[in-house]
Amino acid sequence: MILAIFFLLLGVAGSASIMYFCGLYTTWYWYWIPIVVIPATYVLLFGISLLILFPFAKMVDIDKEIKKPSKIAGFLVREIDFLTVQLSNTKVKYKGFKQLNKKGEYMIVYNHISNFDPMVLMSKINRLICITKRGNKKIPVVGGMIHKAGYITIDRENNEEGIKAIGKAIDTINNHQASIAVSPEGTRSKDLQLLPFHPGTFQIAKRTGAPIVCVAVKNTNMIHKNFPFKRTKVYCDIIYIMYPEEYNELSTAQIAHRLHGIYDQYLRA
């Protein structure tokens, strides 16, 4: 959000300078200039930022294990995600996030219907590391940055890698480095139907004692369809928080079953 505000202020300053020094402010039909200059400046500066970050991200060895997530990289990833959501002509309405203690660590779970889902979460929650598919670390600029930020990759076809990823997530919470965001469905639902939850995912909560925060996202699947001419309204709600005293006596399969039912009921409403 910091970069977004900075870009916006530069856009306002630029359009105001053009209007003033060219003497256009005296004539009403030139008032369209700020409407064009401000968003154009925003887009231009975003593109310049990506170009500046490109060589640094390119130097990151994505095969080298990150023991301590970089706070600077985490900040930049959040800023890029926020700017991307804004530039996609999306308005996100958040609900229930005031319940979260900014100093605590959580296991954040969410239903997965779009590549924008983790971006929406990162735009709202600080100190958050996502479990993501391996291919995302090969994306130019973004791949290097999320690796430095401590994002945990998972190979859906490799059980051993999955266990390793869960172990890294557990260490991240236990070391008080960040909260963890993961989709218990394991992959994006292409038909918007809620997929079965993988019980193993909830080992993260069982072995850390972190509250499980259930976040439901709606309409992120419409962003790419509506862009650029139609604005997309996205809803991101915390629908339930399961605390350790509730899940301690449950197996991971029971947790998965209970939370899947909560999501299913909410998304069908």
More confident residue, 131 or 20: 131
Quickly state the pLDDT bin for 12 (edges 50, 70, 90). Answer: very high
Task: Mention every residue, 6+ apart, whose C-beta is less than 8 A from residue 152.
Answer: 129, 130, 131, 132, 165, 168, 169, 172, 180
Assess whether pLDDT exceeds 90 at residue 23. no
Quickly state the pLDDT bin for 162 (edges 50, 70, 90). Answer: confident
Q: What is the pLDDT of residue 135?
A: 86
| Strands 179-182 vs 107-110: parallel, antiparallel or unpaired | parallel
In the chain the domains, ranked by start, together with CATH numbers, are 60-268 (3.40.1130.10)
Q: What is the pLDDT of residue 161?
A: 81
Task: Mention every residue, 6+ apart, whose C-beta is less than 8 A from residue 182.
Answer: 107, 108, 109, 130, 131, 169, 201, 204
Two structure tokens written together for 249: 């006596």
Task: Mention every residue, 6+ apart, whose C-beta is less than 8 A from residue 21.
Answer: none
Percent of the chain at pLDDT exceeding 70:
100
Q: What is the pLDDT of residue 24?
A: 85
| Strands 90-95 vs 107-110: parallel, antiparallel or unpaired | unpaired
- Phi/psi at 251 (nearest 5 deg)? -80, 165
Percent of the chain at pLDDT exceeding 90:
74
Residue owning tokens 């309405």: 93
Q: What is the pLDDT of residues 208-262, one digit of tens each?
A: 999 999 999 999 999 999 999 999 999 999 999 999 999 999 999 999 999 999 9
Helices then strands (H, E): number in the chain? 10, 7
State pTM to two decimals: 0.92
- Mean predicted confidence (pLDDT) in 68-80: 94
